[in-house]
Every structure is written in C-alpha cells, then in structure tokens.
Amino acid sequence: MTVQAPPEREGAFAGAFRSIASAAFGAILAVIALLAFGQILGVALSLAVRSIDPETASRVGLVTSLAAFRADVVITFPPSVGFGVPLPLPSGQLASHLVPMGLTLGFLWIAARAGRRAARTWPEAPALVLAAVAAAGAGVSVAFVAALAARWATLSFPGSDVTVGVSAASAAAWGGLLAAGASALGAYLEGAAGRASAAVIRGGIAGYLWALGLLVVGVLAIATLEPDVTRRYVDGLAAFGSVGPALFGAHVLALPAQSALLLVPASGSCVVLLTSGTTALQVCPWSLDPAGPLADAFLPPDPVPLSPWFWALLAIPPLAAFLGGRLAGAGVPPARGAARGALAGIVFAVLGMLGAAFAAPRVAVPFIAGWLRLEMRPWSLRAAGLLCLGGVLGGAIGGRLARRVYEEPELPRPTSA
C-alpha cells in the first residue's frame, strides 16, 4: 500500500518547480540579450576601427558584456613589457574593472521582469517565498552561463604578449548575484502588489533611477555652459583617431556609472581616489582636494575648484527622492503617504550607496617599482548619512504631496422624510 502526498503539497512542489524554471529561463534570456548586444557593439567597433578584425571585435564585445556584471578583467603581462620604452616592468596578472552600467541596468530590468513572470506561475505562494524561489532559479542559471561565456572572452594583441581575459569565477559570482537580486525583487513586487512594502520599494527604485537620469542631464547641461572644457574633451577624443568614437561609445555606456559616483558628492560628501591603498585625491562638492605624496608630485597643493555650475547638482538627490516619494505615497492619506515616502527615501539612499560601490572603478597599471593600483572609494558613513537625510526629507515631502491621488470619502448626506 502506497501513501500519496496531500494534494496541497503536490501543488506546492509543482508551483515551486514552475516558478524556478520560469525564473531560470527568463534570466538566461536576459544573459543572451546582454551577450547579443555586446556582439552588436563588436560589429560597430570593427566598422569604426578598421584595423581591428571581426573576431577580435567580437571578443571585445564579449568582454564588455561580462564587464557589465562587474567581472574582473584579467590582464596578463610578460616579464618585461616596455611599450616602446626600455623599462623593467613587473610581470604577472592583475584584475581591474570598469563597469558599463548602462548594460547592467538593461540586464537587471529584463531579469526583474523574468522574476515577475515567475511569480505569476505560482500565485498562491507568499511573496517572500516567491522571491527566494526566483532568486535560486535565476542566480544558478546565470552563474553557469556567465562562467561559460568567460572562457571565450580572451584577447591577444599582435606583436605583444599581453593578453586580456575575464575571470570566470568573478563573472559567475557577480552575474549570479545580480540575476538573483533582480529576479527576487521582481517576484516580490509581483507577489506583494498592493502592499505598503511594494509601494515603498517601487518608490525607492524610481527615485534612484530619477537621480541617475537627472545627473546625466545635469552633466550635459554643464557641458554646454563650459564650452572650453567640452572642446578639450572633444579634442582629446579626436587625438585617438578612429578609436575616438569607440571611446565615446564606452563613455556613453558608462554614464549611469558616472552618475552613480557623482551622487555621492551631490549629496555633500566626497569620493576618495586611492593609489595603492593611500589617499591621493578627494572629489568633494565641488573641488578636487589633493592628498598624499603622489598627488603632491603631480597636482597643485591647494584644492582645485570645479565649475560653479556643479553646485546645482546638490538639488538632485532630494528632488529624485521627492519624485520617488510621490510614487510611494500615491493613493493613501497624507500622513501615511509621508511615512511611505520617508521609507522610500531610505531605500533610495541604500541603492545610492550600493550603486556607487558597484560602479567604483579599479585599475592597476605596471609601474617601475611595482603595480600602481588606482581605485575609487565612494562609501563612507558621512556619505550614507547625508544621502539618507536628503532621501528621507525629499521622500516624506513627496509622499505627503501625493495626496491629490487620494480622495476622501464623502460624508453621508441627511435625507428628508
């Protein structure tokens, strides 16, 4: 005699399996879309730079796609690479990352939609369970595909023993983490639709995306107000010849990462540039403050003020939080709207610090005395506190002013006998 599982248990297992399969399939499609866009970039590169053959351009596109995961790009140098200069440079491998965050945001959006579709396949499950199931399916599948793609992302240059590749472990870890987080978020928002927590999270995400976009617009506006600086930028690209358009395209892809880093000084704090672990420069609102022996050798000792137009960017974090707070507080009374908006401001601040840390570049270059490591450190308690303060204030005001979407119920009118 066999004992069958209760029908509700069989339904739960079937629903969990469908949700995992749906999340995995959607996340794999997100990776495929990312890799396909990288190949489009490779084709564009081969057309712009005629000296690059199509195979090399394709591999460059593959490296760019995996760099969107913040995967480590590994550069291998022979014992002596002079680059035309007879200097004894160190050998070995080093890992650096520069994140084309525009591709990252596109991948996260597709993965989040996959999580929402996965949640619809199991509508009776709690929102947190849906998030966990979607994260498992998406994270494992993307980690596998990213590690497999990294094995093919290897570049070599004619006449040089320098090779460029992508760390498979780094691509798998970061790709799986991003996919799991985005799919879990999408599944939770789908399962918790109509709840206060979903409104708060949506408001915080919307505020952060508004901040990234407004900072891009702000920088472009400042570029039009500073024509001399813009001209030097254009002349610098033109000096690279046919490679100039490719560098400009890389800058366009990195604009969200640029905004993620600028969000820290726009909140009133500083981004620190480190050289081999020692502070060399601080980007504060809005000046360059040199520090350390390396900065003293190449930069003036006093702070270098930036364009006064940059001060206008200080209004962007509270404005973005205000817009996110309006979304979070829509449809509820003013007091509840203000509370939701303030919580959305905290989510906005958390995303701001995580985004800045994610976008912070790290580059290591060969130097006479060893590897010179350049990296940015945007995270600090001061930055987190100021960003949270602006987010809470802006979000609370936005949530309270979202009252017009809410309609007070009318009192019953007396009827005459």
Q: Is residue 413 domain-resident? A: no
Last residue of a domain, one of 172, 193, 214: 193
Mean pLDDT of 384-401: 96
Q: Give the per-residue pLDDT at 244.
A: 87
Higher pLDDT: 144 or 246? It is 144
Q: In this structure, what are the phi and psi dihedrals at residue 312, rounded to the nearest 5 degrees?
A: -65, -25
Higher pLDDT: 66 or 287? It is 66
Q: Are residues 65 and 204 in the same domain?
A: no
Q: Is residue 318 domain-resident? A: yes
The packing angle between helices 227-238 and 244-253, to 10°, is 120
Q: Is the pLDDT of residue 77 over 80?
A: no
Q: Are residues 254 and 283 in the same domain?
A: yes
Q: How many CA atoms lie within 13 A of 405 on its CB side?
A: 14
pLDDT tens digit sequence for 276-316? 777 778 888 878 888 766 566 566 677 888 888 899 999 99
* Model confidence band, residue 204 (pLDDT cutoffs 50, 70, 90): very high
* Model confidence band, residue 51 (pLDDT cutoffs 50, 70, 90): confident
* Model confidence band, residue 60 (pLDDT cutoffs 50, 70, 90): very high
Q: Are residues 147 and 203 in the same domain?
A: no
Burial of 417 (0-12, 13-18, 19+ CB in 10 A): exposed
Q: Are residues 283 and 177 in the same domain?
A: no
Q: Are residues 48 and 80 in the same domain?
A: yes
* Model confidence band, residue 414 (pLDDT cutoffs 50, 70, 90): low
Q: Are residues 189 and 326 in the same domain?
A: no
- The DSSP 8-state label assigned to residue 98 in this structure reads -
Residue with tokens 């979070």: 328
Q: Is residue 1 domain-resident? A: no
Last residue of a domain, one of 150, 173, 193: 193
Q: Is the pLDDT of residue 411 over 90?
A: no
Q: Give the per-residue pLDDT at 417.
A: 45
Q: Are residues 292 and 341 in the same domain?
A: yes
Q: Is residue 415 domain-resident? A: no
Structure-token pair, residue 351: 């995303």
Share of the chain above pLDDT 70, in %: 83
Q: Is residue 304 domain-resident? A: yes
Q: Is the pLDDT of residue 92 over 90?
A: no
Q: Is residue 64 domain-resident? A: yes
Contacts by 82-91, CB closer than 8 A, 24 or more apart: 87/368, 88/368, 89/366, 89/367, 89/368, 90/366, 90/367, 90/370, 90/371
Q: Is residue 316 domain-resident? A: yes
Mean pLDDT of 384-403: 94
Structure-token pair, residue 160: 């040089």
Give the sign of the dihedral formed by CA 196, CA 201, CA 202, CA 208. Answer: positive
Higher pLDDT: 225 or 7? It is 225
Last residue of a domain, one of 163, 193, 223: 193
Give the separation between CA 215 and CA 314, rounded to whole angstroms: 10
Q: Give the per-residue pLDDT at 338.
A: 96
* Model confidence band, residue 342 (pLDDT cutoffs 50, 70, 90): very high
Q: Are residues 180 and 238 in the same domain?
A: no
First-to-last CA distance in the chain? 74
Instruction: Round the average pLDDT of the chain to a whole number and report it.
Output: 86
Q: How many CA atoms lie within 13 A of 290 on its CB side?
A: 13
| Domain limits for position 246 | 196-406
Share of the chain above pLDDT 90, in %: 60
Domain count of the fold of the chain: 2
Q: Are residues 27 and 94 in the same domain?
A: yes
- 50 vs 63, 172, 241, 253, CA distance in Å? 19, 33, 11, 22
pTM over 0.75: yes
Q: Are residues 184 and 219 in the same domain?
A: no
Q: Are residues 224 and 308 in the same domain?
A: yes
* Model confidence band, residue 334 (pLDDT cutoffs 50, 70, 90): very high
pLDDT tens digit sequence for 144-203? 999 999 999 988 866 667 788 899 999 999 999 999 999 999 999 999 999 999 999 999
Structure-token pair, residue 383: 């930055």
Q: Is residue 290 domain-resident? A: yes
* Model confidence band, residue 87 (pLDDT cutoffs 50, 70, 90): very low
Q: Which amino acid appears at position 311 of this protein?
A: W
Cis peptide before 286 (omega within 30 of 0): yes
- 103 vs 38, 188, 209, 314, 414, CA distance in Å? 9, 23, 14, 27, 61
pLDDT tens digit sequence for 11-46? 678 889 999 999 999 999 999 999 999 999 999 988
Helices (H), 226-284: 227-238, 244-253, 255-266
Q: Give the per-residue pLDDT at 415.
A: 53
Q: Give the per-residue pLDDT at 155.
A: 86
Q: Are residues 111 and 227 in the same domain?
A: no
